[in-house]
Chains A and B, each alone.
Chain A
Amino acid sequence: METIVSNYQGRNGHNGNGYGRQRPAAEVLVDARGIHKAYRTPAGDFLALKDVDLQISKGEFVAVTGKSGAGKSTLINMITGIDRPTGGAIYVGKNPLHEMGEDERATWRGQNVGVIFQFFQLLPALTCVQNVMLPMDFANRYATTQERRERALHLLEQVGIAEHADKLPSAVSGGQRQRVAIARALANDPAFLAADEPTGNLDSRTAADVFRVFEGLAADGKTILMVTHDRELAAQAGRIVRLADGEIVNGAGQGVSDANE
């Protein structure tokens, strides 16, 4: 069986390994300043993020690490517009996510961000290819259903599972589901990909394969923000941002690379 790595080559022709480290700091894509996020709980307000500042440049591959409950997922939710901060400002490109409504953020996300989760979040009733076509349908991208299908098949081929295109997610393995999720995230060709523990539910070999896909995407110029607590994988990203108790303890600044630490 072909591996993802052999299948997915960056557009620049190399496999993308360590690419983020070689790329100079450039135009800021994500600019989060003074982010607060509090959750109401029966025991009182819980502050998940405390005055977080984070800038990510275009084309950067940033890994976010930290212990469980450190605020990693909350941070990625803020930056992808899944949730809204209770304080502070987040701009992705020129879009002020902190000011946008739920629907506006959904539309923006559909066109500009690909989001990948640990548990894949595929729609169980749709086949793999239909799952990949759905974001194009919602965003009204590509003129016809036929065009969308062709693109979806192309993306599935890129992530190495074209032969499973017409199977239901329940009929393929965890690693294959995650590749479908990645293909879906790429459906509308977003410049920015956000992944929350994308390898957390996979065995180490498959995890490494999936990570290589991200490296390839980074090599292709995609900006990637990945939450992981796998230090080894994180070390291969361009920059590591470390969170603890809702605060960034390391790696907040634009283009700061501490991947070798």
Chain B
Amino acid sequence: MVRTRWQKVFIDLWRNRGRTLVVALAIAVGVFAVGGVLNTQELMLREFERGQSEARLADAVVYTIPFTESFAERVTRFPEVSVAEGRHVASGRTPISEGEWQNVVTISVPDFEAMEVDAVLPLQGSFPPGDREIVLEHLSLDYLGMAVGERLDLEMDNGARKQLRIAGTVHDPQQMTPEIMGDVVGYVTPETMTLLGETGQFTELRIRVADHAEDRRHVEAVVAQVEDQIEASGRPVLGSRIPERFIRPIIDTLLVIISTFGGMILFLSGFLVVNVISALITQQIKQIGVMKLIGARRSQVISLYLLTVLVYGAIAVAIGLPLSVVASRFFMKTSIEGLLNIVSESYSLPPLLIAAQVAIGLLLPLAAGLLPAWRGTRITTFEALNDAGVAKRSPSQGAIEPLLARLQGAGLVRRPLVLALRNTLRHKGRLAQTLFVLIFGTALFIAVLTVRSSVNETIDGFLRFHQYDVSVELDGHYRQPALEQVALGVPDVAAVETWSTGAGTRLRADGSKSSPFMVNALPPDTALMSPRIDGGRWLEPEDGRAVVVNSDVTKDEPDLHVGSEIVLDLNGREAAWQVVGIVSTVARGPAIYVPLATYAHLTGTPGQATQVKVVTAEHDAAAQEQVKEALFTAFEQAGIGVSRTETTQEIRGQNELMFNLIVIFLIIMALLLAAVGGLGLTTTMSINVLERIREIGVLRAIGAANPAVRKIVVAEGVLIGVLSWVIGFLISFPVGAKMSEVIGMALLNIPLTYRYSALAAAVWFVAIVLIAVAASLGPARNAVKLTVREVLAYE
């Protein structure tokens, strides 16, 4: 049989089951938030890392003229190289609807069953693919809306057109969804590649270094050695790259964001426990006195309140933990796997992780409850027994009372509001405690949605970066006047510029080479770029060897700044350039911008270009798509080979998807914060009314009608809500700005473009007023239900 003192705890919890549920729910939100974060983190990292490690990703890729497998085997024997394998990557397209095409990247693999670099793992259908067959990356198959066994109509950039049977799907963890990357990816045998009009040999050497793969400088050094050896064997090196692990930074940023917010939500829940236990003790002061009177030691009284908190925690764990497990699995399946291309092997969670969440759910509220329980039970038996139920101390006069009197005298505020104001401000300590939760919740809610607005603003900024609508990448250099003539002949083309792109590397002072970056050679007075200048200036018409670098370049080459002299290797031509400006990265990796004339002169392609940038008459997705297809046809008809086309609406979609995951998390966090804030206000209001139930009785005894009492209680709730909103609103400005900066730096290496979410502030204002009214009405109704005699006798 349960001891009488514990029975008291359970009876109290049951008698106040509304409050028990609200407090337990508030803690459950905290448990859910932290559990969700920990579970998602566990699933996401574990499955992502497993996929990455099974794929044995290449540390570097070196491009050269076609080679056979035996050449790759020779490179494998280099001491610094663990393994090298050949690949050939060719691009083409497939029709997806009338006049609409989808880019397809086709990769040939020497031996599917012995892949030791960038391995793909079979998922569905048959593997490896046979002749005239292709296996598609599983997200690509979903994206195309096709099924295994169907035939893929493939038109290669070289003009060859074949139908390949889709033999199955594979998982290639380094491919992101086509919705982000824009390309569908498939894998074929070298024999099928020959059928597609491409070489049956390989042009990419994918390398894994023997050790220190995480040391970029070491990998660069190994690549340099391999390049020297290749060149010594009489082959030219056409380029090299160290693959960016761009998914991992997204994951890390995501984890930082969700862990921070999860922690904050739990902290808020804990603070709510502090408030509730403080209030509970204040309400039960007399009972504490009685218990001490009949022999209870302070530790015994404390243990009663700690058990109360433990029960709150247990209910919260029972609600929050299963929900967090279900939610993290759901989120993993519906969002994360698709966006980060994770194929989960299992959704099981380690028992230790679950145990940790149970411990957090039980112990953290316990820790939060300890202080108010310790403080509250410090009262002596005498003081506790003589607590009248109405505050012992009279309200402090301060500046508020005379002000209220003046306002009321001037007829500016009505009596119920004066009473509500006086009540609200009476216990300043308690008010501060209550307000803290609400202010914190308000500020974070608005700040989180401000980050979301800033993400959108930043994406808009990226789009403003490119003022063109369609970009056409050609398969080589073509004369600028011819390109302009063809493009301007296409209907709905409003303006045209010709650019050149290529790859370049920096030759550092110590003789080492940087990783390659994209070179954009363009007219300095281009009307089609509106970059965000982070330092220095944009290119000017009189510039010669002036270069503008983006922030991804300065991240990799931190010694670069405006005014730096750098030596660039552009298509094998080394020359000194001066950095004149730094622009924000457009989420597309390291890139530099140079004057087209200087570049063309240096690379021996004067008057020629490799890209055509077009402004269309209309800028919607459909108009851009139509012009894109028309341009493709026009160039092909003019004998100008097109290797890739892209519209800015496509780029926008890809960028938005990149941020989607983060935005989804931010919204979930905002909703959880709102839930804790709302529950906090509900609890506070119930407690405030309960605490003053005797006072309400006095009011009614001296003639206050029920509506008047209700008005006072509701006004007080609304006052607390509005007060917290005003302060939280003010705090949300710096908090939102700082969060936008930190998240931007973590994700893009630039602060997000700050845009305050006035909508979030307005929504929260309405919500907090509604919650305040709803939360006060219940207790107010209960208070006026009691008879005056009952209320005055209330213990």
Contacts and interface: CB of A to CB of B under 8 A. Distances in A.
B60 to A, nearest CB: 72
B292 A121 contact: no
Interface in A103-133: 103, 105-107, 109-111, 115, 117, 121-126, 130, 133
Contacts of B508: none
Given A103-B298, A106-B296, A107-B295, A82 B385 contact: yes
Contact of A130 (B7, B287, B382): B7
B8 A106 contact: no
A126 B295 contact: no
Contact of B382 (A77, A103, A121, A144): A77
Contact of B8 (A115, A123, A135): A123
A102 B380 contact: yes
B291 A138 contact: yes
A99 B296 CA distance: 19
A71 B5 CA distance: 34
A258 interface: no
A150 B15 CA distance: 26
A137 interface: yes
B290 A145 contact: no
A33 B289 CA distance: 27
B4 A126 contact: yes
Chain A's interface: helix, strand, loop or mixed, by majority? helix
Contacts of A134: 4-5, 8, 291, 294
Contacts of A125: 8, 11-12, 15
A148 interface: yes
Interface residues of A, number: 36
Contacts of B1: 144-146, 149
A224 to B, nearest CB: 17
A188 interface: yes
A83 interface: yes
Interface string A45-82: 00000000000000000000000000000000100011
Contacts of A208: none
B636 interface: no
Contacts of A149: 1
Contacts of A124: 795
A83 B380 contact: yes
Nearest to A152: B4
Contact of B295 (A77, A102, A121, A138): A138
A137 B298 contact: no
Nearest to B6: A137
B293 interface: yes
Name the residue among B5, B289, B295, B381 with the largest chain A CB count within 10 angstroms: B295
Given A82-B381, A102-B381, A133-B4, A123 B287 contact: yes
A139 interface: yes
B295 A148 contact: no
B482 to A, nearest CB: 92
A130 B4 contact: yes
Interface in B1-57: 1-5, 7-8, 11-12, 15
Given A82-B382, A102-B381, A121-B385, A130 B298 contact: no
B302 to A, nearest CB: 11
A135 B381 contact: no
Nearest to A83: B382
Nearest to B379: A102
A144 B141 CA distance: 70
B300 interface: yes
Interface in B286-311: 286-287, 289-300
Contacts, number: 89
B4 A102 contact: no
B13 to A, nearest CB: 10
A137 B4 contact: yes
Contact of B294 (A102, A105, A110, A146): A110
Given A103-B297, A124-B795, A137 B3 contact: yes
A138 B292 CA distance: 9
A180 to B, nearest CB: 12
A242 interface: no
A123 B5 CA distance: 11
Contact of B292 (A106, A111, A136): A106
A15 B611 CA distance: 116
A184 interface: yes
Nearest to B293: A115
Contact of A107 (B8, B15, B297): B297
Given A134-B5, A145-B2, A106 B297 contact: yes
B298 A102 contact: yes
Contacts of B291: 123, 134, 138
A136 B294 CA distance: 9
A135 B7 contact: no
B12 A188 contact: no
Nearest to A78: B382
A121 B290 contact: yes
Nearest to A129: B4
A20 B380 CA distance: 33
Nearest to B383: A83
B385 A145 contact: no
A135 B382 contact: no
Nearest to A148: B4
A109 B298 CA distance: 13
Interface in A133-189: 133-139, 144-146, 148-149, 184, 187-188
A114 to B, nearest CB: 9
B50 to A, nearest CB: 54
Q: Which of B4, B291, B380, B385 has the most CB of A within 10 A?
A: B4
Interface of B: 1-5, 7-8, 11-12, 15, 286-287, 289-300, 380-382, 385, 795
17 contacts: A81-B381, A82-B381, A82-B385, A106-B298, A107-B297, A123-B8, A125-B11, A134-B4, A134-B5, A134-B8, A134-B294, A135-B294, A135-B295, A136-B4, A138-B297, A138-B300, A148-B4
Give me the 8 closest cross-chain CB pairs, A-B, nearest first. A110-B295, A145-B1, A83-B382, A135-B294, A133-B4, A137-B4, A138-B295, A138-B296
Given A83-B380, A149-B1, 17 more contacts: A82-B381, A82-B382, A102-B292, A102-B381, A106-B293, A107-B297, A109-B295, A110-B294, A123-B291, A125-B8, A130-B7, A130-B8, A134-B5, A134-B294, A137-B3, A138-B5, A148-B4
